[in-house]
Structure 1
Amino acid sequence: MIRIALQSKGRLNEESLELLAEVGIDIERGKRRLLARAELFPIEALYLRDDDIPHAVERGVADLGIVGLNEYEERRCGATVVHKLGFGRCRLSLAIPKGEEYEGIGYFNGKRIATSYPVILRKFLEEKNIKAEIEEIAGSVEIAPAVGMAEAIFDIVSSGGTLVSNGLKEVETAMHSEAVLIATPRLEPEKQALLNQLLFRIEAVERTRGKKYILMNIPTERLAEATGILPGIKSPTILPLAERGWSSLHAVVDERVLWEKIEQLKAIGAEDILVLTPEKMIL
């Protein structure tokens, strides 16, 4: 049995559980439960506050954890990042009142900056040779300039809507964050094997993101042109049809170029084109 720490609520909780469900691990989403066990995989979830997850994993209270990279870096955690998960994307940025003129990072010299991420901010300012006063507060950082607590803020930004609604503008980005899978140092062999199984499943799901499975009927004499358009992972799958002179061609295509490929294929005689969304891709 392996234990994974998950955020107890919020968007990262939902997206973490969705990912686990995609890899065949359904964990009960019961509220007010500290522990919940999966049925078809030897894993149990420990629900914690996001800022408690890094140290819980570091100390072995949980073997694994899914947490924002920003929280991992802020807690100076000794756990190991084993995989970036690609969801929960955001950035940590400096913001100032929208009426202020901004001509560069030197603006922050001598300023008070409110933040819930003093470690990351201090490192960023030191790298930029900026001397500023850091005002550490928890929650509602964006109101600090309006109430006179600070002249600027350093906080998580996703869409930027919260900054705008509080009369602020983003001027410098210190780091980009996303959800990461972390592990306690020196996992026991049995638990390392379970982690490897989990990573295998996650990577199979990730390979399908942004991909489409395309299949079509095409004149056999045009196959060489078609395979040049659709190279596939190794090469397209080609099957003969009962009707002489025709073949069926199957391939996986990047969604960004899907319509371009379809137009090229139709131009060389492809018919009955079917586009599907793959669920898993095992290499």
Structure 2
Amino acid sequence: MSKLKIAIQKAGRLNEESIELLKNCGIRIENGKDQLKVSVSNFPIEILYLRNGDIPQYLEDGVVDVAIVGENLLIEKQKDITIVERLGFSPCRVSLAIPKSVQDESLVYFQNKRIATSYPNTVRTFLKKNNLEAEIHVISGSVEIAPNIGLADGICDIVSSGSTLFKNGLKETQVLLKSEAVLAKSKLLTPEKEEILKRLTFRIQTVLNAKNTQYILMNIPTNKIAEISNVLPVLKSPTVLPLAKEGWSSLHSVIKEDEFWEVIEQLKILGAEDILIVPINKIVR
């Protein structure tokens, strides 16, 4: 039986979150430390740990079948690759930044200036769209140092928290694009591998559906079922079970974690008691 070759970043935060996602999908990764290729015993995939910048080319060439990679990298490399699923982790943005001492934070500042970046294609596209001309210096290492050593007037790089820019005396001025981790596939997959990918995607969606959701249980007056059901964002409808105490019911539902505090006060006002919140690992739809 064929195995789906999946590439993930060899090291760093994206590597860790990718492995965590696969493990949450029930994929048993036996080892992998200091190895470039790892087989999986309980699912037909093979994991390849690759340098981040090489992954788009390997995908286009069909050397690997699928990959967990930053969308920003796919945009920069401009390869013929299909995004299968947005994964919601490793968020970042590709932004222009300038020295803190510069007062002009407008786009016009970059006209005829020097920009140091590891994302030349993204910068060229942005400049062209905004009718600007600038000299691009391609750097593969620490881009943030370029203005301090006189190599550039500004930079374009990925930004997460912004702390690296701050430490290097820079400030973010323009966001070119926002990115997150995605599951991408080669266009050269065989029908057999497409079927394996379908199974993998189903598992990933099941994990993602449960992300940032909680199972909520509460005791409520039976005559308040309709009102409380209208307050709760649910999958379809809540589960309601009668309690031994007359006039009371137990209501079970699912709620997004970031909506809980907005809803909890309304639930209390409507008479909900003994509210319990339980984490959810998987949601199968």
Please, what TM-score do these two structures have when normalized by structure 1?
A: 0.95
Q: Which amino acid aligns with 1:172?
A: Q
Shift of 1:103: 4.7
Q: Distance in 2 between matches of 1:29 and 1:282?
A: 28
Q: Distance in 1 between matches of 2:48 and 2:216?
A: 40
* Structure 2: runs of 5 or more not aligned: none
Q: Distance in 2 between matches of 1:179 and 1:138?
A: 21
Other-structure match for 1:259: 261
Q: Which amino acid aligns with 1:185?
A: K
Q: Distance in 2 between matches of 1:121 and 1:248?
A: 56
Other-structure match for 1:210: 212
Shift of 1:147: 1.1
Q: Which amino acid aligns with 2:219?
A: N
Other-structure match for 1:80: 82
SS state at 1:120 partner: helix
Q: Which stretch of the first structure deviates more once superposed, 22-31 or 114-123?
A: 22-31
Other-structure match for 2:21: 19
Note if contact 2:120-2:138 (Cα within 8 Å) is conserved in structure 1: yes
Shift of 1:27: 1.9
Other-structure match for 2:125: 123
Runs of 4+ more than 4 Å apart? none
Q: Which amino acid aligns with 2:21?
A: L
Q: Distance in 1 between matches of 2:185 and 2:32?
A: 24
Q: Distance in 2 between matches of 1:97 and 1:230?
A: 48
Q: Distance in 2 between matches of 1:113 and 1:134?
A: 5
Other-structure match for 1:234: 236
* Structure 1: runs of 5 or more not aligned: none
Q: 5 Å matches for 1:37-186?
A: 37-186=39-188
Q: Which stretch of the first structure deviates more once superposed, 204-213 or 139-148?
A: 204-213
Other-structure match for 1:34: 36
Query: In angstroms, what is the RMSD of aligned CA positions?
Result: 1.5
Note if contact 2:62-2:188 (Cα within 8 Å) is conserved in structure 1: no
Shift of 1:29: 4.5
Q: Distance in 2 between matches of 1:29 and 1:39?
A: 11
- 1:187-218 CA-to-partner distances (Å, cap 9, x unmatched) read 21111111111111111111122221111222
SS state at 1:110 partner: coil
> Is structure 2 residue 235 aligned with structure 1 residue 222?
no
Q: Which amino acid aligns with 1:17?
A: I
**1:196–1:10 Cα change, 3 Å:** same
Q: Distance in 2 between matches of 1:104 and 1:259?
A: 38
SS state at 1:207 partner: helix
Shift of 1:171: 1.1
- 1:97-134 CA-to-partner distances (Å, cap 9, x unmatched) read 11112152111111111111111111111111111111
Q: Distance in 1 between matches of 2:233 and 2:55?
A: 43
Q: Which amino acid aligns with 2:133?
A: K
- Identical-pair percentage: 54
Note if contact 2:217-2:275 (Cα within 8 Å) is conserved in structure 1: yes
**1:4–1:103 Cα change, 3 Å:** closer
Shift of 1:186: 3.9
Q: Distance in 2 between matches of 1:43 and 1:93?
A: 35
**1:68–1:266 Cα change, 3 Å:** same
Note if contact 2:62-2:189 (Cα within 8 Å) is conserved in structure 1: no
Q: Which stretch of the first structure deviates more once superposed, 269-278 or 139-148?
A: 269-278
Aligned residues: 283
Shift of 1:263: 2.7
Shift of 1:58: 1.1
- 1:145-203 CA-to-partner distances (Å, cap 9, x unmatched) read 11111111111111111111111111111111111111010421111111111111111
Q: Distance in 1 between matches of 2:241 and 2:22?
A: 35
Other-structure match for 1:10: 12
Q: Distance in 2 between matches of 1:28 and 1:143?
A: 40
Note if contact 2:105-2:173 (Cα within 8 Å) is conserved in structure 1: no
